[in-house]
Amino acid sequence: MTKKTKIRRMTSAETNSTANMAISDGTSGEVVADRGGMDAFTFGDPESVLDRRTLLDTVMQVYRNDRWYEPPISRDGLARSFNASPHHSSAILLKRNIVVSELRATPYLASAVAERAIQDFLVFGECYLLKIVNRFGGLVRLDYLPAKYMRRGVTPGVFWYVPGGAPEVEYPAGAVVQIMQPDINQEIYGSPEYLSAIQSALLNEAATLFRRRYYLNGSHAGYILYATGDIDERDTTKLRAALRASKGPGNFRNLFVHAPAGKEGSLKIIPVAEQGAKDVFLEIKNATRDDVLAAHRVPPQLLGIVPAQGSAFGNPRDATGMFWMLEIIPLLSRFLRINEEVGALAVQPRQAIEDMPMQLLTASAA
């Protein structure tokens, strides 16, 4: 007489222990197999702002070595995220173009140097200019230094150029001008204003890449071909070859199957993840677009975005005037700090900043 096996429900502790065997704390996105052969995925790239990293923000503002401070935000990551979303890059380029158009070239600051510095300021939250002086200490011109590779030295006033694959260059105290956005966690490096929308920009890119892979896949939504009945092995081989030939560049092909002795329902196609294939692509794109535009504070009509059916964005002239007053004028004011740093009129707007709001209000009323 055999003994009956007693079946009981697993406790929460046992459930957590079993889950920990399958899912590890290792590299995010890595496939991990447990002892039973089941595959599990670990996800960890998107992190909340209230994670364990906040402890480091309070204990250590920025990491330093013997020569310079390391930026708290990856400069390489910010540079690569520049092209993650069309709305993200377009908003930055729009601001850059408007500011450049409002600055006149001066003997100290060339238009090309100003354009690159403004773009760095909008992407990295800071920009750097090298002071070229004569033998008497007078300013000759300002040259561009790429913010991606600039590091602030431990010695006050000293900056380092750290390109990675080339030797570092040290600039003595007083030779480099740094203009940066304020950061609430530290005062060594600047922080871009759009940082809260980085995840939305990356989600926008991920949705586009998923959609592209979906179309390049050939069969689009996966499926299971369920065959029953009396099917010859040779027919099965031919059917398998025909299905493989229907993928890739020749997708959307029709498939003809002739089974003389077949019955109704002997061949069934069971879609797999079809609901995911019919994803909320447009909803994701629109939601992430709104997040990015909100972070950049750019009116959508200035980026060529078409309003949804039955809606409108309002008067573009009014939107342009308010955008100019709330964003462009403060941005121009920040770059006037360069004049204070170098002691010369290196940055000169085409018109007085004090007169811009009145001119914008007059143009909007007209």
Residues 203-224 have pLDDT tens digits of: 999 888 888 877 776 555 566 6
Greater model confidence, 203 or 32: 203
pLDDT score of 133 more than 80: yes
Nearest Cα to Cα of residue 219 among 257, 258, 249, 256: 249
Tell me the average pLDDT of the chain. Answer: 77
Structural domain contains residue 30: no
Is there a domain that residue 23 lies in? no
- Look at residue 19 in the predicted model and tell me its pLDDT: 40
* Highest-pLDDT range among 17-26, 304-313, 342-351: 342-351
Residue 304 lies in a domain: yes
Question: Residue 295 CB: number of other CB atoms within 10 A?
Answer: 20
Write the single-letter amino acid at 36: G
Residue 105, in any domain of the structure:
yes
Compute the distance between CA of residue 274 and CA of residue 296 in angstroms, rounded to an integer: 36
Predicted pLDDT at 231:
67
Host domain of residue 72: 66-214+298-366
Query: Among 324, 222, 240, which Cα is nearest to 278's?
Result: 222
pLDDT the model gives residue 228? 67
Q: Give the chain's length.
A: 366
Q: With a cut of 60, say whether residue 110 has pLDDT above it.
A: yes
Alpha carbons 259 and 213: distance in angstroms, whole number: 34
181-196 residue pLDDT tens: 999 888 999 999 999 9
pLDDT, average across residues 286-293: 91
Give the range among 147-151, 268-272, 275-279 with minimum mean pLDDT.
275-279
What is the pLDDT, as a whole number, of residue 255?
62
Whether pLDDT at 38 is above 50: no
131 domain-assigned: yes
Provide the pLDDT for residue 279: 55
Structure-token pair, residue 89: 């890059």
Sorted by sequence, the CB contacts under 8 Å of residue 209 that are 6+ apart come out as none
Q: What average pLDDT does this structure show over 19-38?
A: 43
CB 55: neighbour CB atoms within 10 A?
9
Q: Tell me, what's the pLDDT at 31?
A: 44
Q: How many domains does the chain have?
A: 1
Residue 100's alpha-carbon distances to 70, 239, 248, in angstroms, are: 30, 63, 47
Predicted confidence (pLDDT) at residue 7 exceeds the cutoff of 50 = no
Q: How far apart are CA 214 and CA 362, in angstroms?
A: 51
The answer, yes or no, to whether residue 345 has pLDDT greater than 60, is yes
Does 275 score more than 80 pLDDT? Answer: no
Mean pLDDT computed over 252-267:
63
As a whole number of angstroms, the distance between CA 123 and CA 192 comes to: 6
| Residues in CB range of 133: below 8 A, 6 or more apart | 139, 140
In the predicted model, what is the mean pLDDT of residues 133-160?
94
Predicted pLDDT at 15: 45
Distance (Å, whole) CA 25 – CA 59: 24
176 is a domain residue: yes
pLDDT-above-90 percentage for the chain: 41
Instruction: Confirm whether 151 is domain-assigned.
Output: yes
pLDDT at 325: 87
d(CA 204, CA 291): 10
Cα dihedral across residues 53, 55, 61, 66: positive or negative: negative
CA angle 274, 280, 281 (to 5 degrees): 105
Q: How far apart are CA 123 and CA 30, in angstroms?
A: 31
- What is the mean pLDDT of the segment spanning 5-15? 47
Is residue 311 a part of any domain in this protein?
Answer: yes
Using CB atoms within 10 Å of the CB of residue 150, give its burial: 0 to 12 exposed, 13 to 18 middle, 19+ buried. Answer: buried
Rounded mean pLDDT, 68-77: 91
What proportion of the chain, given as a percentage, has pLDDT over 70?
65
CA distance 158 to 312: 52
- Is 273's pLDDT higher than 70? no
The more confident residue out of 320 and 52 is 320
